[in-house]
Amino acid sequence: MKKYRVNVNGIAYEVEVEEIAAPTGAASAPAPAPAPAAPAAPAAPAAGGEAINAPMPGTILSVAVKAGDAVKKGQVLMVLEAMKMENEIMSPCDGTVTAVSVSAGSSVESGAPLCTIA
């Protein structure tokens, strides 16, 4: 067993990993997975607004706001399903929704613009 210390979001964790020898007669180690493509650059926010971008690829399940709605910091803007998990996209600030770029059922890529808050 090897012991490692891993920091995740500023929290230190101690992890033990068991070493397992390769079975005898193994042809070769599997090829490493290809490196993931770099995410698309986030869309520029509208004049004076803050763009809310998709944190990961997925499908928009529901949109709780429309253009002109006032929102508070932490309010749920929409729900994004990714890898069979529902992720709530929350407002990072108080303001007014100036544009909504997606609708329920839309597929989005990582970094895709979802809405803009001014």
In the chain, the domains with their CATH numbers are 50-117 (2.40.50.100)
Q: What is the pLDDT of residues 65-94, one digit of tens each?
A: 999 999 999 999 999 999 889 999 999 999
Find all residues with CB under 8 Å of 103, minimum gap 6, and list them: 60, 63
Residue 45 has, within 13 A of its CA and on its CB side, a CA count of 12
pTM above 0.85, yes or no: no
Separation CA 103–CA 65 (nearest Å): 10
Q: What is the pLDDT of residues 4-61, one digit of tens each?
A: 888 888 888 888 887 777 666 555 555 565 555 544 444 444 455 899 999 999 999 9
